[in-house]
């Protein structure tokens, strides 16, 4: 292995950098290696899929290093494809009027692999953070995850465009008694998946524990979402027999407005409205009103 490449990799290996910091450090420290290896340009193309946290990204020929007006014909590329994550291509271009030997091409390919690994490590750190914010049973966000998401929305001054729905599945203990606790877990996981598919890019669901959930949804989708919440049907296999659970909820609803700038406040308003809904014999959905705070 080229000693300069080894030294380059070691300088990053023990660090845990955010993607933007990693990019800046790479752009700074890759230059002497590229000059010594007759590399005129390194470019990256990548596509990642959408997730409930982030929109997918598409980058075409992002230039990590370039020596202006000096690109020749030799190219070395590596391609990576990870199912459900995305794909990427890292390419190095030779300096004009130069060629690479097979050994040099091997070293350059290895350099590109190391750059990919460094990018992957940064992404992995982000994924580990997400794991800490995910409910292990259902794959929904947990309390920390939904608060982080809500705070991100608030920081972008977009909170008033969203509505928070705080809810509990009605008579879920009885459903558990009928289908069994394992199938009860299946129902919760299926419910989260159905909700996630329904909301798409317009909202997210979090499990707060047990059969308690909260969603944050773009307000223009609220009407459709409340209709969705009525009579959700999930069928499970109970020792060879199919049984269908009909899911209804008690929910408190708080719509974003210019007076509320902090996500936890909006979530608290929804929780207050939920308490009113929980005690009502008639209403399943209750919208927050400021006078509710005086009843607490």
SS3 of residue 145 by DSSP: helix
pLDDT tens figures, 173-190: 999 988 988 999 999 999
Write down the pTM of the prediction. 0.62
For residue 15, what pLDDT is reported?
63
Confidence of residue 83 (pLDDT cuts 50, 70, 90): low
CB atoms near residue 119 (< 10 Å): 20
- 3-131 has which CATH code? 3.30.450
Q: Average the pLDDT over each of 18-27, 97-106, 138-147, 242-251 and give the range with the smallest value.
A: 18-27
What is the DSSP secondary structure assignment for residue 134, as one 8-state letter? B
- Pair of tokens at residue 194: 């159905």
For residue 294, pLDDT beyond 90: no
CB atoms near residue 114 (< 10 Å): 18
Pairwise CA distance, residues 172 & 87, whole Å: 42
Instruction: Kindly report the backbone phi and psi dihedral angles of residue 70, in degrees, each rounded to the nearest multiple of 5, phi listed first.
Output: -135, 30
Element (H, E) at 207: strand 203-209
Does this chain's domain 3-131 share its CATH topology with 143-295? no
Pairwise CA distance, residues 249 & 229, whole Å: 7
| Mean pLDDT, residues 258-283 taken together | 92
Domain 143-295, CATH among 2.40.10.120, 3.30.70.270, 3.20.20.100, 3.30.565.10: 3.30.70.270
241: Cβ–Cβ under 8 A, 6 or more apart, which residues? none
Pairwise CA distance, residues 67 & 107, whole Å: 19
SS3 of residue 239 by DSSP: coil
For residue 85, pLDDT beyond 60: no
Q: Residues 207, 212, 217, 223: is their CA dihedral positive or negative?
A: positive
SS3 of residue 81 by DSSP: strand
Burial class (CB in 10 A: 0-12, 13-18, 19+), 80: middle
- Pair of tokens at residue 195: 């909700």
Contact 78, 117 (CB under 8 A): no
For residue 52, what pLDDT is reported?
42
| Mean pLDDT, residues 106-121 taken together | 82
pLDDT tens figures, 184-221: 999 999 999 999 999 999 999 999 999 999 999 999 99
6: Cβ–Cβ under 8 A, 6 or more apart, which residues? none
* Domain chopping of the chain, boundaries: 3-131, 143-295
Contact 269, 260 (CB under 8 A): yes
């Amino acid at each position: 292995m080229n000693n300069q490449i080894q030294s380059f990799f070691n300088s990053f290996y023990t660090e845990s950098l955010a993607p933007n910091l990693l990019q800046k450090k790479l752009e700074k420290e890759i230059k002497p290696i590229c000059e010594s290896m007759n590399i005129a340009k390194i470019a990256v193309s990548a596509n990642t899929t959408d997730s409930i946290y982030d929109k997918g990204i598409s980058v075409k020929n992002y230039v990590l290093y370039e020596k202006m007006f000096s690109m020749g014909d030799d190219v070395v590329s590596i391609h990576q494809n990870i199912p459900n994550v995305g794909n990427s291509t890292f390419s190095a271009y030779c300096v004009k009027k130069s060629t690479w030997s097979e050994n040099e091409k091997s070293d350059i390919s290895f350099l590109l692999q190391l750059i990919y690994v460094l990018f992957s490590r940064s992404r992995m750190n982000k994924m580990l953070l997400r794991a800490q914010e995910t409910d292990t049973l259902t794959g929904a966000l947990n309390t920390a995850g939904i608060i982080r998401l809500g705070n991100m929305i608030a920081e972008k001054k977009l909170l008033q465009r969203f509505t928070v729905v705080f809810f509990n599945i009605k008579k879920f203990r009885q459903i558990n008694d009928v289908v069994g606790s394992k199938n009860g877990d299946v129902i919760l996981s299926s419910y989260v998946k159905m909700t996630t598919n329904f909301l798409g890019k317009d909202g997210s669901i979090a499990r707060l524990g047990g059969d308690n959930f909260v969603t944050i949804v773009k307000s223009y989708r609220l009407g459709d979402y409340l209709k969705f919440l009525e009579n959700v049907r999930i069928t499970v296999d109970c020792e060879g027999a199919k049984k269908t659970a009909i899911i209804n909820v008690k929910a408190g609803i708080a719509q974003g407005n210019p007076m509320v700038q902090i996500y936890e406040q909006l979530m608290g308003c929804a929780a207050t409205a939920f308490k009113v809904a929980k005690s009502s014999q008639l209403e399943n959905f209750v919208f927050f009103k400021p006078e509710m705070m005086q009843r607490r």
